[in-house]
Structures are given as structure tokens and as C-alpha cells.
Structure 1
């Protein structure tokens, strides 16, 4: 049972339940389908009042009933436990290097990414060999949503199904490098697409190895 602190405003309740899930403001904004992290920040500081539709969207992303955010008096707050929907328990996964991720792709039986100095939690299921990576460069940064700026963390689920439009960590065999891109399949052709329009889309034809699908992200410093 979540221990509820004093939550006298809608913004403080959003912040409380976000932190209870271990989500950053950026992760919550992405889960809501919004491109701006500042939107969540404004709601949490009560400098901007969300619409009822926004409250419902936030509640769904936080896996709680909208009433948990809308209740105001202390007696009602005690009843929030009745409104909470089941949540997944967070699990910690290791933060590894890109070199290690590439080695794992070549020999997964010999390179289980379990030895790491830093572990980060997520409520997403990345499997037994899931791991975090730190985004390098700005090829996956854009003005829209989602955007993965340099320094952000991405959670990788190895051996995940390939779905067009999803994001993957892939080893380019001919170049000997590991990259992070959006996988696109169109009219039988397959591509690795960067979100930053300054970078070119890569057509693939068996010259790469998919390491895993990105299923969660965290911004550093929040």
C-alpha cells in the first residue's frame, strides 16, 4: 500500500504518484503522448491547470483512477487506496556500455549484462537480460515526441519482436558499430530511421543484427 503524504493540490498529487512509479517528468509526458516535459512541470507546480481530459490522460499513464488526482479533502485522500489500479513492481536493470551491448549481440550466451556499477529501475518488463544504455549523439533528438537527447537512458529488451515504428538498438555488421534508431518497414523494404532530420535513413538488407527493442526511457538530472 502506498503511503500517502500531504497532497493538498492537484499538482502535488500528480508529482506524488509520478514519483511513486519512479517516473521522470519526461517519461510521464511521453507516456501521455505529449512532446513537452514543461507541461508536466507546470501542472505539478499548479502554475497551469489541466483540463479534465488531461487529468484522465495523466491518470491512465500513472495507472491510477482519475479520482485519485481530483480528490481534495483529507478524508477522500484516505479512500484513494480504493481507487488505485494494480501497478507493476519496479525492477532494476544494469546500465551497460555500448561496447558490451555489441558483444552481447554476438554471443548472448556468454555476455549476460548483469555486472554493472549502476542499476536503474523500471516498471516495464525487459526480460531476464534487459539493460539500460546511455544515448550517444543527437541523431535521435527532435522537436517532436518522442525525442531521445544525448545523455538520456534507454531500456532495451533483447530478442524482442520487430515491429515497424518501434525503436531498436541494432548492430551494423558491415560498419562494426552499434546504433539506436527507429525501425521502419515499408512495401517490403526495411530502414533504420533517425529522428533528427539532419541524419540520413539507413536501408537494411541483412547487414545488421537487432539487439533489442527500446521499451522505456529516463532523462538524467530529474
Structure 2
């Protein structure tokens, strides 16, 4: 009987640990794929640099054992640490990362990140507790952040130059600001507020002077608004696409 090439290259059976890792990864993928808007094809082609969706499928179904590179790719797309599905590989990645002579920078475990919608200033002005945090169709654009919000949060794209300054904090037009609706709005914080005479939200610094609150632009060329009982704080700005300090 002729020995075929297929017989000579018989695939190694996965160990119980490797099977458990693939099963855990598959469970995470199924739980998060809809929320994150990802697919096996996206992970395979963009992340694993493969030619077809099957490259991701083989890891998820346990046909192929996970390795460090594949684990790091899945962790990045699923926004979880490798340790969530493979303690074995997580330890190996950490060990290699500590070795200054090791070229493994691209496979380090990713920090956890969170997905928030980018909304309009009108939508921000209409924000209320009735919005569950992101109903279907709420936004067609999402951005990620390592910030774990205290409550519903969203991104806004800065319009105009009222928050630019020659000194200190300056937020340029076109920057994205992340707004957390549950952070306490104390004087000195940058806030998004709703003024009674506008259907849009506004971005200002909340300041206190003589026992009264004001909404102050960082650009001195713009007027300061009195914050009275008809104004409403939508949320506090916790991050911007450029670094700043309160």
C-alpha cells in the first residue's frame, strides 16, 4: 500500500489544555462579536494576515492550537487580556516581554479598552437618563478609549476655537472629547452643558466666582456664561485626543 503525503503529515491532536483555551476563546468571541462589530473574516484577514476566514475559525473551533501571536491578535480584537482565555500563553507573553533582548513588542497583552459612540452636539444637548446608553441607530461611528466610564459616555468632536488658548489647557477644533455623564461636575472641570436658549450642548470650563458658577471658554476672546438653575450639566470631559490637565 502506497504511503500518501497526507499520512505523513497527520495533524497533532490538541492537548486538553489547548482544547480548553480554544473553547474559552470561542465563548468570548460569540459573546462579544455583535457588540464589537467584528467577524472571523475581519480577525483572520486584518489581524492574522491570512487569506480567508478559516484561519480564525481553526483557532476558535480547536482545530489549531493557539500560539502567542494568534492569542495577541484575538485579545486585541476582543478587547480582553490573553489571560481571559489562556493563562498559559499570558504567562509566556509576560515572560518574553520582560526580556529586553526579545523582539516581542507586538505580542504584548493589550490594555483593556472600551467602545463609545461619537454623537452630534444636538444629541448631546438632548441627552437624558432616558437614553439607554446607546439604543439601536444611536450612532454610526464609535471610537475606543482605555477609560472605563462611571456611567454612559460618548465622544464629541470639538467645533470652533472657543476652547483654544495660548497658555495652559487648549483643546483645538477637530479634537475628540470623551464625556462621562456620571462624573461629578466640580469647579475647575471641563464640562459639556446645555444652555436654556440653545438646542445644542456647549463645551466650557466650569468655574466658581463669588459663590456663583460660570461656564468659561478657554479662549479669552469669547464671553463667559452665567450658570444658573436653567442650565444643565450633561457630563464631564475625561479625555481628549490631545493631552491636557485640569
Report if TM-score (shorter chain) is over 0.5: yes
1:112 counterpart residue number: 133
1:201 counterpart residue number: 224
Distance (Å, rounded) in 2 between the aligned partners of 1:87 and 1:144: 34
1:93 counterpart residue number: 116
Matched, 1:123 2:127: no
Q: Is the 1:165–1:182 contact (alpha carbons within 8 Å) kept by the matching residues of 2?
A: yes
Question: Which of 133, 136, 139 does residue 159 from structure 2 map onto?
Answer: 136
2:185 counterpart residue number: 162
TM-score, normalised by the number of residues in structure 2:
0.51
Would you identify which runs of 4 or more consecutive aligned residues in structure 1 move more than 4 Å? none
Higher RCO, 1 or 2 (CA under 8 Å, sep at least 6)?
Answer: 1
Q: Report 1:60-99 matches (<5 A).
A: 76-78=100-102, 89-99=112-122
Post-superposition CA distance 1:170-208 (Å, at most 9, x none) = 000134431000000133110101000100111112120
Q: Is the 2:122–2:199 contact (alpha carbons within 8 Å) kept by the matching residues of 1?
A: no
Post-superposition CA distance 1:104-149 (Å, at most 9, x none) = 1xx3214634532211111112244210000011100112232111
Shift of 1:75: 5.0
Instruction: Give RMSD over aligned pairs.
Output: 2.8
Please, which runs of 5 or more residues in structure 2 have no aligned partner?
1-97
Post-superposition CA distance 1:75-112 (Å, at most 9, x none) = 5355x99xx9x9951111111111111121xx321463
TM-score, normalised by the number of residues in structure 1:
0.56
Please, which runs of 5 or more residues in structure 1 have no aligned partner?
1-73
1:103 counterpart residue number: 126
